[in-house]
A and B are shown apart, each in its own frame.
Chain A
Amino acid sequence: MTRPGEAKLNHLFQPGHIGKFKTKNLVKYGACCVSNYNGRDGTITPRELARVRVIAGTGCGMITNQGAYPDPLGEGKSYFRQVAIHDDKFLPQFEKIAQYIHDAGAVALQQILHAGRYGGIDLGYCVQPSVVPQTLPHFRPPREMTKEQIKLVVQQHADAARRAVRAGFDGTEITSFMGYLLANFNSRFTNQRSDEYGGSVENRGRFMRELIDAIKQATPDNPLSVRLNGAELMDRWGGNTQDESFELMQQAVDCGVEMISVTVGWQEAPESSFGRDVEPGYWNFLSAKAKKMFPGVLVAFGNRLPDPAMANDCIRDGVFDYWEVCRPLLADPEMIHKAAEDRMEEVRPCIGSLNCLSRLFRDLPYTCTMNPMLGHEVEPEYHITPATEKKRIMVIGAGPAGMEAAITARQRGHAVTVFEKADKIGGNLAAYAANDLARPVDLQSVIDYYAVMAKKLGVEVRLNTEANAKFMRSVLHEYDACIVAAGARTDMAVFRYLENSELLIDALEVAHGRVKPGKRVVMIGGGMIGLTISEFLAKAGHEVTVVEQEKRIGGDIMPTFKWRHTAWVDELGIQTITSAQLTKLSKEGATVKTAKGEEKFIAADSVLVSSPRKANHDLFYEFQWMVDELHGGGDATVPRGLDAAIHEGYRLGVRI
């Protein structure tokens, strides 16, 4: 029976096929993130298997298992705990994964990932077509591949493909995304060879053609997908033009691949490809071009395309054949099912924070800001199970930590009431979202999600209700447990000894729209909050100077987005003074003292304070003798950010 969402998104939910294999819909789970959950020798762990069971159950018609490196030395290994497929000893775990995917009614592809320029993570070097030094210090110094090594790598890919099919996978995938070995051969940037593997596009594509031929010969009955850049975003540094990228796709098509997966960007590219600052749908023109150029082959695409409705329209309009999706399914593995049931408002949105990737580059397992369960599937303690004793729980604060705790606890059968002093939920996240230059709707979508889920689950939310000791005395017998998730505030008290400190304005008041600053603004604190508000004000025409006591601005911003803030600061003409502290205040402006002992006067109409921040601990002390169970979570324990708030809220909700 067709479900309501399937009828609505009838293009996305129509059946398809790749080679001889039928897919129940046109959604391909993309192998865009390596989990880093596995053994250092590439062995698949129970943690990974538990995670893959969830992936298998996402409802996608085709599922690509994460990239496995194909060589025993690990020259192709790009992440510390990446899976390996260079030996038959790994087969039992791959068999399990293929089985999970088939049990869920999906077609199973195994990606073979030789990272080339980004590989050799356990070695002191990486291999490339030519010795082109690194631009990112995370990666290893290069060595040029000999022709014998090229032939060996081609053979290793073929062996890996054969092994994957033996394990039960229906097909395989090779990938150039985002600057791996295949891309290194294809690109002018990294391929400077003078033999038959370098020079012309024809020659540069030879390695790819040999890979495809070898895999096709090894697994003639199984489809092969190739992920290729539609745009490298490296052309300014001597990489391929878009035309060359599409010439290379043509070569792959001519070699008989069943699917071209169009991707965008290299890791070292100087611009964004799928961060929060990229408008959804921005890159669709690349897949539309591929679809037009290669009508006889399947085209998959999903870069910065997080929405099933948009994907449905793209399939209808001939932009691509399969929607390739990964990160939104990290945030909510149920998204496809919810889309099929027309419950999209219940989807935990992927906000494009790229927390997943930030962690990979610190050699940590990936996690998701929005999905606290991710990576903990193997741990029963993380699962939402019925509470043994149903409790009446009060949650103080309707920010992300409080709302996450509330909806999680409610799902376990507790009765939950949230008390919020403001007239809406969201806490400081709402103010932050309103000032976000990237895409305010992304962060607002988190709040919207909590509003929907609270209503659906029956969490009572009492707005305009400030929790204090008097209030607590009036209700304490009505509740068994209390979660204090009252967030953090700007610690204005540290400035109280300054003369004229009454002139200081809490930056959060500005962020919430309760105070309008003057034309010339000094922002004390150059962290995430200070910068976000400063950027918003600068864009609105204010002249802004940021004063930061640390050596650098943006110290609390994750590395994948910090560059974006520093670029905005530069583009918007925001002045920054680092290693400096506020020393004097007057109606005319602020005086700061630098680490060198120099005093600088900055003329200003308003001096805003965004840092330091202080946890709203006070209620703990007020309530500790009033309620049986007292818990704290999010910024109310230690001021951090959205990720910690949601994760702590969940952990409280799931165990209380």
Chain B
Amino acid sequence: MTAAVDQSFGEIASWQTMLDRHRELFLDMVQGSRIGFVSREASGILPGKRLEGVQVAAAVPMLAWQLENGTMSARIEDFSGMASTRVDLLLVADEEAMATMLNELDGDTLTVIKRLIRRGRMMFFVFKNKAQLQDAGYEDFLDSLGLAFLGACR
């Protein structure tokens, strides 16, 4: 299976419409900023099981958002683990989260993603530190997902 024809993330055009609707969140981001989504089941990054899929995995589809010429663009790429993928933030969605996201693409998708993260249906990993993310203009986006920018000891 090649990722390019994979339909697990639905129509790319729908994602693009959603990203365009939220373009103000990406205004401060620097060129080349990248956010990836992979399926837990497909990548092997399963709760309670090995997380090594984050490092090395068989090629699975990844929905990538990349800032190009001031616009956040959606595309499908191959994900073969972090060793060969460059993203600033990786979100790992379970089956329910994938389905929920796809159903809500016309609605308030980011709020839905925020809820999925809070409910543990979606894990996230950061690959840049606080200063790098701040410099790359991520504050608005992380805030919209309810992710703590600093430590969250609470």
A contact residues vs B (CB 8 Å cutoff)? 118, 130-141, 178, 188-189, 192, 235-238, 265, 267-270, 272-275, 354, 357-358, 360-362, 551-552, 559-561, 563-564, 566-567, 570, 579, 595-596
Selected contact of B51 from candidates A238, A270, A570, CB within 8 Å:
A238
> Min CB distance, B49 to chain A, in Å?
7
Interface size on B, residues (CB 8 A): 40
> Min CB distance, B123 to chain A, in Å?
5
Beta-carbon contact of B151 and A136 below 8 Å: yes
Beta-carbon contact of A567 and B129 below 8 Å: no
Most buried by B among A137, A570, A596: A137
Beta-carbon contact of B128 and A137 below 8 Å: yes
Beta-carbon contact of B118 and A567 below 8 Å: yes
Most buried by B among A138, A268, A560: A138
Measured CA separation A5–B153 after assembly (Å): 33
Beta-carbon contact of A595 and B24 below 8 Å: yes
> Min CB distance, A384 to chain B, in Å?
31
Measured CA separation A563–B117 after assembly (Å): 13
Selected contact of B146 from candidates A235, A236, A237, A563, CB within 8 Å:
A563
The residue on B at minimum CB distance from A352 is B154
> Min CB distance, B127 to chain A, in Å?
6
Selected contact of B129 from candidates A138, A267, A268, A559, CB within 8 Å:
A138
**Per-residue CB proximity of B94-123 to A under 8 Å, as 1/0?**
000000000000000001001101111001
In the complex, the number of residue pairs spanning A and B with C-beta atoms less than 8 Å apart equals 116
Beta-carbon contact of B150 and A138 below 8 Å: yes
Beta-carbon contact of B51 and A136 below 8 Å: no
Given A137-B130, A570-B114, A130-B51 contact (CB < 8 Å): yes
Beta-carbon contact of A267 and B47 below 8 Å: no
Q: Which 4 A-B pairs have the closest CB atoms?
A: A236-B120, A361-B151, A133-B125, A238-B47
Most buried by A among B90, B126, B149, B154: B154
Measured CA separation A360–B154 after assembly (Å): 12
**B17 interfacial contact with A, CB 8 Å:** no
Beta-carbon contact of A237 and B153 below 8 Å: no
Beta-carbon contact of A135 and B48 below 8 Å: no
**B5 interfacial contact with A, CB 8 Å:** no
Measured CA separation A500–B78 after assembly (Å): 58
The residue on A at minimum CB distance from B28 is A551
**B82 interfacial contact with A, CB 8 Å:** yes
Beta-carbon contact of B154 and A274 below 8 Å: yes
The residue on A at minimum CB distance from B150 is A361
B contact residues vs A (CB 8 Å cutoff)? 24, 46-52, 54-55, 82, 90, 111, 114-115, 117-120, 123-130, 132-133, 140, 142-143, 146, 148-154
> Min CB distance, A380 to chain B, in Å?
32
Selected contact of A192 from candidates B50, B142, B149, CB within 8 Å:
B50
CB-defined contacts of B117 to chain A, threshold 8 Å? 270
CB-defined contacts of B52 to chain A, threshold 8 Å? 130, 192
Measured CA separation A360–B130 after assembly (Å): 14
CB-defined contacts of B47 to chain A, threshold 8 Å? 235-238
The residue on B at minimum CB distance from A124 is B129
CB-defined contacts of A360 to chain B, threshold 8 Å? 151, 153
Beta-carbon contact of A133 and B50 below 8 Å: no
Selected contact of A140 from candidates B51, B54, B129, CB within 8 Å:
B129
Beta-carbon contact of A563 and B152 below 8 Å: yes
Selected contact of B48 from candidates A137, A178, A188, A265, CB within 8 Å:
A188
Measured CA separation A139–B130 after assembly (Å): 8
Beta-carbon contact of B151 and A357 below 8 Å: yes
> Min CB distance, A549 to chain B, in Å?
14
> Min CB distance, A574 to chain B, in Å?
12
Measured CA separation A595–B149 after assembly (Å): 25
Selected contact of A268 from candidates B24, B118, B127, B152, CB within 8 Å:
B152
Known: A137-B130, A275-B154, A570-B115. 7 other contacts (CB 8 A): A136-B148, A137-B133, A272-B154, A274-B154, A357-B153, A361-B151, A361-B153
Beta-carbon contact of A267 and B146 below 8 Å: no
CB-defined contacts of A269 to chain B, threshold 8 Å? 152
CB-defined contacts of A362 to chain B, threshold 8 Å? 150
Given A130-B51, A192-B51, A238-B48, A137-B149 contact (CB < 8 Å): yes
Measured CA separation A67–B130 after assembly (Å): 24
CB-defined contacts of B150 to chain A, threshold 8 Å? 136, 138, 358, 361-362, 559
Measured CA separation A4–B149 after assembly (Å): 47
Selected contact of A560 from candidates B115, B118, B126, B154, CB within 8 Å:
B154
